[in-house]
Amino acid sequence: MFTGSRTQDYLAVVLGVFAALSPLWVETNNNGMWSLIVLGALVALAGLAQIYRPAMEATDYAMGLFGALLFISPWAMNYTAYRGASWTAWVIGIVTVVVAVAALPTVSGRLHDMAPHH
């Protein structure tokens, strides 16, 4: 899936920036706005850190944590009534966790080993 190209890091930056800017076009309350901005920025920063320092495995784990926090934030920060903000957090949170898990060294190694050899 994402073996050698580190495409997942660029995707994480895009996802994080989208989440951080989403309060500009989705209706939300103050808690939701700050959750999306802060967690989106952290996802984007984790992606940037991985782009510039791919050997830092801890950022993949941090990215997964930020994605999970983003996913639960509508319930934890009480903004589920704002559907646009909630769905943004849920979808970006899930995709971020999937991207982070796919980028983990043990998973990437298995994916690379499963690829057909020419």
In a domain, 2, yes or no: no
Main-chain dihedrals φ then ψ at residue 111, nearest 5 degrees: -65, -40
Residue 28 lies in a domain: yes
How many angstroms separate the most distant Cα atoms in the chain?
Answer: 54
Output the pLDDT for position 25.
96
Total structural domains in the chain?
1
Contact 77, 30 (CB under 8 A): no
- Is residue 1 in some structural domain? no
pLDDT at 1: 45
The pLDDT, as a whole number, for residue 42 is 97
Give every CB contact of residue 116 below 8 A, 6+ residues apart in sequence.
none
Q: Residue 49 falls within a domain, yes or no?
A: yes
Tens-level pLDDT at each residue, the chain (118 residues): 444 567 888 999 999 999 999 999 999 999 999 999 999 999 999 999 998 888 788 888 999 999 999 999 999 999 999 999 999 999 999 999 999 998 886 555 544 555 555 5
The 3 state secondary structure assigned to the chain is: CCCCCCHHHHHHHHHHHHHHHHHHCCCCCHHHHHHHHHHHHHHHHHHHHHHHCCCCCHHHHHHHHHHHHHHHHHHHCCCCCCHHHHHHHHHHHHHHHHHHHHHCHHHHHHHHHHCCCC
* Per-residue confidence (pLDDT) for residue 48, from 0 to 100: 94
Residue 27 structural domain: 7-114
Does some domain include residue 13?
yes
Cβ neighbours for 30, distance < 8 A, ≥ 6 positions apart: none
What is the pTM (predicted TM-score) of this model? 0.84
